Amino acid sequence: MDISIRHESWPIRGAFRISRGSKTTAEVIVAEISDGAATGRGEAVPYARYGETVEESLMLAREAAGALRAGATARDLPDSLPAGAARSVLDCALWDLAAKRDGLDIGAAFAARLAVEPPPRGSLETAFTISLDTPEAMARAAAEAAEQPLLKVKLGDPGLDVARMEAIRASRPDARLIADANEGWSLDFLKGSAAALAALDVALIEQPLPAGEDEGLAGWDSPIVICADESLHVAADLDRLAGRYGAINVKLDKTGGVSAALELIRAARARNLQVMLGCMVGTSLAMAPACRLAEACGAEFVDLDGPLLLAREREPGLIYHGGVIAPCPSELWG
């Protein structure tokens, strides 16, 4: 088995700004695993918020590649790698290899793991991200994204966040809105602003409080569904978060790939939680497995707009028509 793992840098169109800072490039790692007859690929984003670096993730993935060459499988990866980008890039590549080598029906395989009926192939409506800026600039960005029916609005400055949402709603009365604070709010601000945000018809509030400081959500009857992102990585986290959130954001780079994401989604559905399939900023190769997962689980929210934020894209890539992603081509993944 031949395994190559490399770092790639993709320029972002403009800048991507959230409450923790901004960046102008997407730094990703890519794995290619070949058995001589077929090649599987995966992409992941090492995320500084979780203590990851490109260099360390490359090292970890390359170390684990030795076990794969010796016959290990995706089921063995959790024994050698923590949840994160290094495991995700290998796990996704192994699923792609199985699909291309064995003719594996990815949709049916995912459905079997989730104990649901195999999903029909179809288009997905994705959110489009509005980066953190002044209310006026964000309203302009929302208006310029007139073809996008679902906007995910980056927030995190309580002094201006309600004004930001009011400006965006005024510029886009037709849009569905997600408010993503990226851990930037206090409990008092959340509870004090929830009614105003509900009046603006906000569909979801994502990770309003710092991870580990969300005890105050327990038992609170929020007028808007609250979604866990930074607070949640893997299925084992769900017991700790019980009663605090009504939805979860599943990102392959957090869970450690498709295999762990399937476990997390099945456990979340057993707890009657809504599911979002989300992403870091990356190319279509990173989005593709998440698209297939979103199909399989019937995700209530899809946030897989990473390629739309880039100045250039991988070929072949996903096809976006406004806010709709066409079915993932097998040449890309799966």
Residue 226 CB: number of other CB atoms within 10 A? 20
Span 110-133, mean pLDDT?
93
pLDDT tens digits for range 78-108: 999 999 999 999 999 999 999 999 999 999 9
Q: What is the pLDDT of residue 218?
A: 96
Mean residue pLDDT of the chain comes to 95
Q: Which two tokens stand for residue 234?
A: 């893997």
- Return residue ranges of the chain for CATH 3.30.390.10: 2-103
Options 3.30.390.10, 1.10.10.10, 3.40.250.10, 3.40.50.10540; which CATH number does 2-103 get?
Answer: 3.30.390.10
Q: Which two tokens stand for residue 297?
A: 């689980």
Span 256-262, mean pLDDT?
98
Local structure of residue 262 (DSSP, 8 states): H
pLDDT band at 74 (very low <50, low <70, confident <90, very high): confident
pLDDT tens digits for range 20-72: 677 899 999 999 999 999 999 999 999 999 999 999 999 999 999 999 999 88
Q: What is the pLDDT of residue 19?
A: 62
What percentage of the chain exceeds 90 in pLDDT?
91
Domain boundaries 114-325, corresponding CATH code:
3.20.20.120
pLDDT higher than threshold 90 for residue 73: no
Q: What is the pLDDT of residue 201?
A: 98
- Return residue ranges of the chain for CATH 3.20.20.120: 114-325
Where do runs of H (alpha helix) occur along the chain?
Answer: 54-69, 77-80, 85-102, 106-114, 135-144, 158-171, 187-199, 252-255, 258-270, 284-297
pLDDT tens digits for range 219-232: 999 999 999 999 99
pLDDT higher than threshold 80 for residue 307: yes
Q: What is the pLDDT of residue 20?
A: 67
Q: How far apart are CA 329 and CA 319, in angstroms?
A: 9
pLDDT higher than threshold 90 for residue 119: no
pLDDT tens digits for range 166-224: 999 999 999 999 999 999 999 999 999 999 999 999 999 999 999 999 999 999 999 99
Provide the β-strand partners of residue 11. Answer: 25
pLDDT higher than threshold 70 for residue 139: yes
- In contact, 263 and 87? CB cutoff 8 Å: no
Give the burial class of 56: count Cβ atoms within 10 A of its Cβ; 0-12 exposed, 13-18 middle, 19 or more buried: middle
